[in-house]
Amino acid sequence: MMITVFIIAVIFIYFFMKHEHACVCDGSLNNCCNICGYTLKQEYNYCPNCKEKLKRKCKGCGRMIDINWRKCPYCEQYRS
């Protein structure tokens, strides 16, 4: 009986903590991780929750840009 109560409590705590950092992508300035939905700050290079890479270094100018961009907005270098 105690084990069942413990397991239910752990499951409840897990889901509560998981949704605490869930991103609400409603078109506002919030950025969300495409993998886990964690709310991201603009300056993050990796998602702190799932470690997904978010930015890469441009080979033309060396600035960090979004990993999904095909072209650097600073130097116009295409991703090779």
How many other C-beta atoms can be found within 10 angstroms of the C-beta atom of residue 18?
Answer: 13
Q: Is 12 left (phi over 0), alpha (psi -120 to 50) or beta?
A: alpha
Rounded CA gap, 72 and 77, in Å?
5
Q: Is 9 exposed, middle or buried (0-12, 13-18, 19+ CB in 10 A)?
A: exposed
Mean per-residue pLDDT for 8-15? 77
- Strands 39-40 and 64-66 come out as unpaired
- Residues 37 and 44: their CA atoms lie apart, in Å, by 14
pLDDT digits (tens, 9 = 90+) for 17-57: 655 455 555 555 568 888 888 999 989 999 999 999 999 99
For residue 13, the model assigns a pLDDT of 75
Predicted confidence at residue 23, as pLDDT, reads: 55
Q: Residue 3: its pLDDT value, please?
A: 87
pLDDT at 80 over 90: no
Segment 59-72 shows an average pLDDT of: 93
